[in-house]
Structure 1
Amino acid sequence: MINGKLLKDAMMSAAISIANKKRSVDELNVYPVPDGDTGTNMSMTMGAALRALELMGEDVTVSQVADTAASALLRGARGNSGVILSLLFRGIAKGLNGLTEADCESMANALELGVSAAYKAVMKPTEGTILTVARMASVKAQECVHTTNDPVILWEEVCKEAEATLAKTPDMLPVLKKAGVVDAGGQGLLLIFQAMLEVFHGGSIAVPAEKAKEEKKVEFSTAVGEFDEVINFTYCTEFIVQKHPDSPDASKLRAYLETIGDCVVVVDDEEIIKVHVHTDSPGMALTKALEFGCFINDPKPKIENMRIQHENKVLEAKITKQQEFRPAEQEKEFGFVAVAAGLGVESMFTDLGVDQVVRGGQTMNPSTDDILKAIMATPAKTVFVLPNNKNIIMAAEQAIKLADRNVCVLQTRTIPQGFAAMLAFDESASLADNRINMTKAFERVSTGQITFAARDSDYEGHQIKKGEILALDNSKLSFTDKDVEKAAVKLTRRLVKGDTSYVTLIYGADVTDEQAEHVQALLSAKLSDKIEVMLVNGGQPVYYYIISVE
Structure 2
Amino acid sequence: MDPYAGLHYNSTATISKRLDVYKTNVATDNTEVHRFRPQHLLDGLRAATVYLARHQEDINALNVFPVPDGDTGTNMLLTMTAVVHGDNWPSDSISKIAIKSANQAILGSRGNSGVILAQFLSGFSQSLYGITDCDGPTLARALTDGARSAYTAVSDPVEGTMLTVLRDLSDAAAKTAAQGDVDIVDILYASVEAAHQSLDKTPSLLPMLQEAGVVDSGGQGIVVFMEGLLAGLLSQDPYKLEIKINSENKCLTQSTPHYSDFYLEGTKQEQYGFCTQLILEDDELDLPKLKESIAKFGTSVAVIGGQSLAKIHVHTFQPEAMIQFARTLGYTSKIQVDNIDQQHQDFRTFHQSSVKKIPLGIVAVASGHGFADLFRDLGCHAVITCGHTMNPSTEELLHAARSTSADQVIILPNDANILLAANQAINLSSQSICCIPTTTMPQGIAALLAYTPDLSPEKSIQTMKQAIQGITTVEITTSHRNTSISGRSVAKGQIIGLINGNLVGFGNNPSDVLINTIQQGPLKSDGLITLYWGSTAKQDEAEYAAECLRKSLGNQEVEVVYGGQPFYHYIASIE
Q: TM-score, normalised by structure 1?
A: 0.43
Q: TM-score, normalised by structure 2?
A: 0.42
